[in-house]
Amino acid sequence: MKAHDGMYIDGAWRDADGRDAIDVVNPADGQVIGQVPAGTALDVDTAVRAARAALPGWSATPPAERAARLSALRDVLVARKDEIAEMITAELGSPLKFSQAVHAAAPIAVAGSYAELAATYAFEEKVGNSVVHHEPIGVVGAITPWNYPLHQIVAKVAPALAAGCTIVLKPAEDTPLTAQLFAEAVHEAGVPAGVFNLVTGLGPVAGQALAEHPGVDLVSFTGSTAVGRRIGAAAGAAVKRVALELGGKSANVILPSADLAKAVNVGVANVMSNSGQTCSAWTRMLVHRDQYDEAVALAAEAAAKYGDRIGPLVNAKQQERVRGYIEKGVAEGARLVAGGPEAPREEGCYVSPTVFADVTEDMTIAQEEIFGPVLSILRYDDEEEALRIANGTVYGLAGAVWAGDEAEAVAFARRMDTGQVDINGGRFNPLAPFGGYKQSGVGRELGLHGLTEYLQTKSLQF
């Protein structure tokens, strides 16, 4: 795989400050596929200075021209979509079909949506005797994870560019090649030097330096709640804006009137997709006691079919972590009906698609984000209990409700403490605000709501 041995700063690939490098490993076979430089605090500082210097020019660039650059970026992502998909398959391990259909395609839709929003958004509005200007917040420090390597970058960079912000990105150490490819795409799209900058490196070094840099006006972070909490605390102390997209433990609530087979099958597919490494995955399935045994049998059967169709986890550490959770589920008394802690293959970071029945609310596997292909099925007696269980975690990112009658599902969804709910299998919408209630985060990404995260208002009175 093609790798740059420098940082993309101020419109060019420049030598890194230090000599340390990060090996990029393909988790399907353990092969090292490339190396990128491990950025230091000095690299971050150079990048932030470049972003700060580019801010006056870019923020004063007419929105129509910013839209044109975003549109060009979208076109480059289209032209290079096969290369992107292959890169993500190599770094993350996801099956090529999934990389094409989701990892490469979603960023194209999101970049396109922000080209349109930049062109049409009212950056100026009249309110009584005031004119309110929606101005860019400034320099953005973006820190992204590896599970949707390009989507999570574009979900921050595209709205920031549309708003007139400049950016320094620190991508996940496991998927830096995709980030380098994205930097090439930004360059090809004619985005001016310094507007977008890339510093590869380790979270506690480059990531922390970026989050704490006084020249950064907004930190936008996606990843674990543990790191997000620290970034939020540091931002609070610095009186700096922060956006946090954190974990989830989303409930898939199957009401008694639902089409049970459909709800269970779509629910299993949702959890196994991307090998369970999705923050919005419906990892808790809630089923009425009268349908419970049937649902468990259907889920076990569906999971067994995924055996050869899912990729490995991103690295050996995540594989160990997920297998540890499966062992914990068994130890706490849940009943394995598919999969288990044993690695299904000798080579690669694979985990078997796993389904637990007889899971109760208090179990670790019902409360903590596992981030692997592991589904917990819980039993409820009535709708009030289902609601209590659905809302009974510290998270609130996503969810699903299934019912024979759409209005019944909507009524239940309105009582859920969560940022997104799919009704009877409703599709992902790249324009709908995405983000969490409770400890799933602060702020929203995507669409119009994602754009306004990168804006602040100035009111002029007449």
* Contact set with ligand NAP (CB under 6 A): 143-145, 147, 170, 172-174, 202-204, 207-208, 211, 222-224, 227, 231, 245-247, 279, 318, 369, 371
Q: How far apart are CA 144 and CA 121, in angstroms?
A: 26
What residue is closest to ligand NAP based on CB? 203
Contact, 178 vs 84, CB < 8 A? yes
User: With CB under 5 A as the contact rule, which of the stretches 52-60, 195-203, 257-265, 303-311 interacts with Mg ion?
Assistant: 195-203
CB of 208 to Mg ion, least distance (A): 12
Angle at 418 between CA 427 and CA 228, to 5 degrees: 105
Q: How far apart are CA 346 and CA 204, in angstroms?
A: 31
- In this complex, which beta carbon is closest to Mg ion, that of residue 95 or of residue 203? 203
When CB distances are held under 5 to 8 angstroms depending on the partner's kind, the choice from ligand NAP, Mg ion, none that residue 378 binds is none
* Residues between 310 and 329 that touch Mg ion (CB under 5 A): none
Binding mask 198-227 for Mg ion (x = CB under 5 A): -----x------------------------
Unique residue bearing structure tokens 């995260």:
453
CB of 179 to ligand NAP, least distance (A): 10
- In this complex, which beta carbon is closest to ligand NAP, that of residue 208 or of residue 220? 208
Q: How far apart are CA 37 and CA 399, in angstroms?
A: 39
When CB distances are held under 5 to 8 angstroms depending on the partner's kind, the choice from Mg ion, ligand NAP, none that residue 445 binds is none
Dihedral sign of CA atoms 153, 451, 78, 140 in order: negative
- In this complex, which beta carbon is closest to ligand NAP, that of residue 228 or of residue 348? 228
CB of 266 to Mg ion, least distance (A): 31
When CB distances are held under 5 to 8 angstroms depending on the partner's kind, the choice from ligand NAP, Mg ion, none that residue 141 binds is none
Q: How far apart are CA 337 and CA 209, in angstroms?
A: 45
Q: How far apart are CA 428 and CA 438, in angstroms?
A: 21
- In this complex, which beta carbon is closest to ligand NAP, that of residue 17 or of residue 174? 174
Show which residues are catalytic. 245, 279
Q: How far apart are CA 77 and CA 158, in angstroms?
A: 12
When CB distances are held under 5 to 8 angstroms depending on the partner's kind, the choice from Mg ion, ligand NAP, none that residue 291 binds is none
Q: How far apart are CA 400 and CA 410, in angstroms?
A: 10
- In this complex, which beta carbon is closest to Mg ion, that of residue 223 or of residue 430? 223
Contact, 371 vs 343, CB < 8 A? no
When CB distances are held under 5 to 8 angstroms depending on the partner's kind, the choice from ligand NAP, Mg ion, none that residue 196 binds is none
- In this complex, which beta carbon is closest to ligand NAP, that of residue 152 or of residue 291? 152
- In this complex, which beta carbon is closest to ligand NAP, that of residue 337 or of residue 349? 349
Q: How far apart are CA 399 and CA 462, in angstroms?
A: 47
When CB distances are held under 5 to 8 angstroms depending on the partner's kind, the choice from Mg ion, ligand NAP, none that residue 164 binds is none
Q: Outline where 121-278 has alpha helix (H).
A: 149-163, 176-188, 208-212, 225-237, 260-272
Please state, in angstroms and as integers, the Cα–Cα distance from residue 213 to each residue in 48, 217, 232, 240, 304, following that order. 8, 9, 14, 10, 48
CB of 65 to Mg ion, least distance (A): 37
Nearest to 207 by CA among 226, 225, 224, 221: 221
CB of 25 to ligand NAP, least distance (A): 13
CB of 233 to Mg ion, least distance (A): 18
When CB distances are held under 5 to 8 angstroms depending on the partner's kind, the choice from Mg ion, ligand NAP, none that residue 147 binds is ligand NAP
Unique residue bearing structure tokens 């090809």:
188
Residue ranges that bind Mg ion, judged by CB under 5 A:
203
